[in-house]
């Protein structure tokens, strides 16, 4: 009998956790390592809307649709961590957001994901506590979207796995055809395969190959306690994203605030106050909206906006795994990557997301089979 493959997963955010979970389920000997930089973990700061509605690139749409399906397929195994498929309202109040709403609805309908432009009155009936300064021009409705509790989901995937708290600083080939990981404390270890799911931390790991470039910005969410349930669905307006977060709890986020406060690391409190002010203005009859937790985290995005998934052609055994919308994609990408590592079956849906590796310089995309 052959010994199980020894796979080291670096990074225990949602992508690393899901991959480690599936590797272990499929019989690998998994070592999970995380630098435990909680304040630098994207997963902890995520708005965690699980959706197929927000993409425009056809390959990404196909991937996200399948990722949402994956959540439905495994819902019975997730228990309390299961996605709440509440649907999402996207509220357009100006010409730009109107164009986005119409484009998303058309795209979702044409590929069978489901979406419609709702009469504004229907939206008001569904979310009666919400008041907008500017009346909506249109409200797009995506019934297949939902939200997840990212920490509950992460905990689910980590169940039964042991984690080592260490920071990797280098990965290199070792003489025996394996890979060697060097840690910040100077210790080294050999392994058959490495999955690099370190998110924004990846830039700190020295590699003999250039990895796909990541663009790292930062984002904020504010978890709130409220006197009543503010919304029953995920609602995105140009000023504020808000979703339920359990009974009398809501989560607040704004892309605009993320951009405004991205460069100043001292302003988390101010960003949170701005989000809370917007929420209080939008829900004037809701009573108290009190912050329970303010979280700032990095948002690592592969520079071309697409996930990067797969083995390096130059450093065999080294697998890259990075993605924006990682909450939506993690269960699917984790399962597909684990299968690929252990069986070499490469699911065609990942073909557009293969990084093309160089010894140095730019990394571009390649398509499976083209190398």
Ligand X SMILES: Cc1cc2nc3c(=O)[nH]c(=O)nc-3n(C[C@H](O)[C@H](O)[C@H](O)COP(=O)(O)OP(=O)(O)OC[C@H]3O[C@@H](n4cnc5c(N)ncnc54)[C@H](O)[C@@H]3O)c2cc1C
The reply to whether 144 sits near ligand X by the rule CB under 6 A is no
For ligand X, the closer of residues 37 and 137 by Cβ is: 37
Task: For residue 366, give the nearest of 317, 324, 314 by alpha carbon.
Answer: 314
Among 7, 28, 49, 63, binds ligand X (CB under 6 A): 49
The reply to whether 308 sits near ligand X by the rule CB under 6 A is no
Q: How far is the CB of 307 from ligand X (least distance, A)?
A: 9
The reply to whether 21 sits near ligand X by the rule CB under 6 A is no
Among 82, 144, 179, 200, binds ligand X (CB under 6 A): 200
Which stretch, 11-19, 113-121, 126-134, 350-358, contacts ligand X (CB under 6 A)? 11-19
Site string for ligand X, 220-259 (x = CB under 6 A): -x-------------------------------x------
Residue 5: phi and psi, rounded to 5, are: -60, 140
Q: How far is the CB of 12 from ligand X (least distance, A)?
A: 5
Q: How far is the CB of 344 from ligand X (least distance, A)?
A: 24
Which whole-number Å values give the CA distances from 115 to 52, 85, 235, 278, 319, in the listed order? 10, 14, 14, 27, 36
Tokens of 206: 């020295």
Q: How far is the CB of 135 from ligand X (least distance, A)?
A: 26
Among 22, 47, 230, 233, binds ligand X (CB under 6 A): 47
Among 20, 222, 323, 332, binds ligand X (CB under 6 A): 323
Tokens of 156: 């689910």
The reply to whether 19 sits near ligand X by the rule CB under 6 A is no
Bridge partner residues of 220 (DSSP):
296
Determine the Cα–Cα distance for residues 191 and 23; give it in Å rounded to an integer: 14
Among 9, 23, 24, 45, binds ligand X (CB under 6 A): 45
Q: How far is the CB of 28 from ligand X (least distance, A)?
A: 18
Q: How far is the CB of 337 from ligand X (least distance, A)?
A: 12
The reply to whether 335 sits near ligand X by the rule CB under 6 A is no
Among 20, 30, 108, 197, binds ligand X (CB under 6 A): 197
Q: How far is the CB of 120 from ligand X (least distance, A)?
A: 24
Number of residues counted as binding ligand X (CB under 6 A): 42
The reply to whether 332 sits near ligand X by the rule CB under 6 A is no
Binding site for ligand X (CB under 6 A): 10-16, 33-37, 40-43, 45-49, 167-168, 197-201, 204-205, 219, 221, 253, 297, 299, 322-328
């Amino acid at each position: 009998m052959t010994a199980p493959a020894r796979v080291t997963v670096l990074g225990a955010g949602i992508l690393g956790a899901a991959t480690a979970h599936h590797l272990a389920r499929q019989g690998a000997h998994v070592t999970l390592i995380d630098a435990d930089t909680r304040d630098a973990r994207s997963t902890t700061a995520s708005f965690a809307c699980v959706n197929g509605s927000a993409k425009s690139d056809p390959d990404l749409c196909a991937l996200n649709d399948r990722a949402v399906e994956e959540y439905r397929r495994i819902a019975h195994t997730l228990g309390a961590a299961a996605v709440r498929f509440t649907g999402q309202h996207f509220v357009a109040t100006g010409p730009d957001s109107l164009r986005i709403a119409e484009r998303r609805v058309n795209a979702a309908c044409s590929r069978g994901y489901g979406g419609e432009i709702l009469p504004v009155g229907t939206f008001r009936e569904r979310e009666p506590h919400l008041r907008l300064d500017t009346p909506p021009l249109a409200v797009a409705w995506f019934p297949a979207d939902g939200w997840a509790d990212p920490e509950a989901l992460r905990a689910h995937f980590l169940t039964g796995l042991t984690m080592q708290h260490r920071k990797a600083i280098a990965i290199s080939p070792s003489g025996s055809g394996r890979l060697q990981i060097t840690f910040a404390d100077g210790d080294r270890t050999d392994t058959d395969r490495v999955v690099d799911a370190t998110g924004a931390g990846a830039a700190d790991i020295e590699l003999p190959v250039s990895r796909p470039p990541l663009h790292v910005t930062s984002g904020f969410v504010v978890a709130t306690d409220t006197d009543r349930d503010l919304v029953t669905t995920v609602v995105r307006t140009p000023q504020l994203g808000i979703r339920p977060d359990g009974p009398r709890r809501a989560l607040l986020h704004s892309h605009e605030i993320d951009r405004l406060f991205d460069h100043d690391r001292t302003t988390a409190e101010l960003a949170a106050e701005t989000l809370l002010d917007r929420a209080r203005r939008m829900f004037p009859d809701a009573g108290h909206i009190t912050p329970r937790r303010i979280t700032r985290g990095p948002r690592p995005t592969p520079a071309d906006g697409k996930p990067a998934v797969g083995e390096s052609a130059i450093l065999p055994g080294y697998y890259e795994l990075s993605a924006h919308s990682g909450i939506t994609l993690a269960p699917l990408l984790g399962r597909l990557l684990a299968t690929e590592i252990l069986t070499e079956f490469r699911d065609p849906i990942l073909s557009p997301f293969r990084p093309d590796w160089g010894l140095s310089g730019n990394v571009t995309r390649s398509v499976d089979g083209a190398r």
